[in-house]
Amino acid sequence: MARTFFVGGNFKLNGNKQSIKEIVERINKASIPQNVEVVLCPPAPYLDYAAGLVSKPQVSVGAQNAYYKAAGAFTGENSVEQIKDVGAKWVIIGHSERRTLFKETDEEVAEKTKFALDQGLGVILCIGETLEEKKAGVTLKVVETQLNAVIAQVKDWSNVVVAYEPVWAIGTGLAATPEDAQDIHASIRKYLSEKLGADVAEKTRILYGGSANGSNAVTFKDKKDVDGFLVGGASLKPEFVDIINSRN
């Protein structure tokens, strides 16, 4: 079964109206294959603005985080309903910067994922090991533990995209090799198959994230379990279009 190639752009805490307009207009003007799904994730204050600028059917907008309560006294949080209300279709949950800097636990990540899915957002679920964990040889144990927390709460994975993002590769310029990424992705798919069944595993897209750029994206082209990319720094630059087109 062919899985639709998926490229997410995580702008992190970067951008303003001018730069976000330039990025979206560049994507609007680019030639993008019909069979590629692109999700642009600007900072929350610009979701509405970015969603209003997008003009291609295969491009949508996503948030970088969402809370697991519908409304109420939760100062500073963004609700799933609000994110949907301004035109976003996706949310990134469990990014390593949220896990590390904001101390999000596996359980909170699972709770946020469940809530967002139940309310109708697609979820880009981030998992990945630190350098210490990689050196200790526990990469699979780490990603399985992260997945397990979500598996315990979420049974329908049809709107989940998994992003395998080794923490040591994020923002460092040191991407995983395509061979290493393929190995981990295949193990993640095997694990999903054991826990959720072969059909879910076969359909779930597994993205690679961590210093993907316009030059190295194409080197992942023949890796059958790499179904796209989650891109940080390079999503702000013209080379993002090369990543989007790297499979064609």
207 binds ligand PEP (CB under 6 A): no
CB of 243 to ligand PEP, least distance (A): 10
Please give the Cα distance from 187 to 169 (Å, whole number). Answer: 19
Stretch that binds ligand PEP, among 46-54, 145-153, 186-194, 231-239 (CB under 6 A): 231-239
Q: What is the bridge-based pairing of β-strands 122-127 and 90-93? A: parallel
CB of 169 to ligand PEP, least distance (A): 6
Please give the Cα distance from 5 to 244 (Å, whole number). Answer: 9
# residues near ligand PEP by CB under 6 A = 15
Q: Would you call 129 a catalytic residue per the annotation?
A: no
| CA angle, residues 244, 147, 184, in degrees to nearest 5 | 55
CB of 126 to ligand PEP, least distance (A): 7
10 binds ligand PEP (CB under 6 A): yes
CB of 61 to ligand PEP, least distance (A): 16
Please give the Cα distance from 159 to 25 (Å, whole number). Answer: 27
Q: Are 110 and 152 in contact (CB under 8 A)?
A: yes
The residue (of 146 and 200) whose beta carbon lies closer to ligand PEP is 146
Stretch that binds ligand PEP, among 20-28, 38-46, 189-197, 203-211 (CB under 6 A): 203-211
Q: Are 79 and 69 in contact (CB under 8 A)?
A: yes
Phi and psi at residue 239, to the nearest 5°: -65, -10
Alpha-helix runs per DSSP H in the chain? 17-29, 47-53, 80-85, 96-101, 106-118, 131-135, 139-151, 178-196, 198-203, 240-244
Q: Would you call 144 a catalytic residue per the annotation?
A: no
39 binds ligand PEP (CB under 6 A): no
What is the contact mask toward ligand PEP in residues 89 to 108, using x (rule: CB under 6 A)? ------x-------------
List of residues contacting ligand PEP (CB under 6 A): 10, 12, 95, 165, 170-171, 209-212, 230-234
Catalytic residues: 95, 165
